[in-house]
Structure 1
């Protein structure tokens, strides 16, 4: 999970609840910067245990490039409601249909960007219906299930959630992991306010959402061939290090998709937080060239 630099929306952005045909979703909506030529709107989907705040560092530089960006908490994530115990509500197809409802509520066409788990949900959404979107960016999000080491971490979390409360799991994670590796992002270098916000975010996640999406990450099939035939431009962006999906897997996925490939130096699994200016520049450069949809292609 990313640790956003701040939970406060950036200047000019607005936090509100987006009404859709499938319910309300908490969003941070950042308009195009004053004086910038409007170039489009993007919907941003966070990763496993993350939230819309993970994209806070990207809003201002993307607004300066002419893009309105709307980051969303998915169903059961942080400030978006969802069932506490019903895993079926968080089936990938249901989450993908939520994305299509969000796109309809915002108005189309949209650029779609998903980080990690959010990338796989974004992929499922465009496979259901690609027509609302003009491009797809997969940020630190791979072709199939996560690495074996990360599957083990997710299994530990899922096992703990079966017998412990969210608060108890939080305390165990804090006690067991060193600051620089704390998966919840609440290291000792975080200030008191940061730790309070991170804990609040963790406690706000619905356990059923974590259980269902954690299982998805561990069992996701390779759907690159299905995706590659769609008439959309693709972008595979990652940090220079990633232990969730090793870089060779991401390189091969980009090749099979005919996608633009960006590796952000100095970043790991969350380039949006690790190197936001370089990440925003790469994303905007891709969006600038993705206005016209390419013809459909065949997977390699």
Structure 2
């Protein structure tokens, strides 16, 4: 069966960068937590939008291991792996790649429900369980309730995709009167409420003749900083470094990759990793 017949997503250069960032931090995370003995911690890896485990590179045309497959190769290994996806074919392919490993749990379903009902309850702080969770939605498919629950638990660190391309395409129109109620609901669900509107639009100093003040749409950078603030103040994460922008071949930002944790040392490690990759230009 060819790659075109398999459920593998084609990914661009910056998605490969994102995978490398997560791979590098996951290795450091597992090494640190695996070495801790007093108390001993049971650390797990969670990928909420796991996909098929492999991708096809738009740059080379070859296969690129996805975050789940990279995580399975980390040494020392995580104690458990939880992979979730809504696409049945991708789940089946991921199951084949996992090769019936006893430390892997694969779920077919909406990650918002699976995380809240089945996975997050298994990584409680008081049970000495910790987790690294990858929240990499294809668009505005994540529920803020998941983010706030993770922030409340204090036992989970996250990498989070803020899908600014989806937001700009479907929600942040210059004339917001044309945005459908469904798209507004999607944004509210991801952001947690409609306070994003206060950030996204500001009144222009110029006023149209005989009309109301014109509105100006906020920049991607302004939206990204507002969401970073929301992760800290709304979800309660203590340590949220500035995100790294992921771009397409036209150098337009497609999404921002955030990291959020309650550990200062974790933020220090991620800032070093981000700095290593943020200036790595496409060739």
Is the TM-score greater than 0.5? no
- Report the TM range for the smaller structure's normalisation: 0.3 to 0.5
TM-score for both structures, normalised by structure 2? 0.38
Structure possessing the higher relative contact order (Cα contacts under 8 Å, 6 or more residues apart): 1
Which of the two has higher C-alpha Rg? 2
Name the structure with the higher strand share: 2
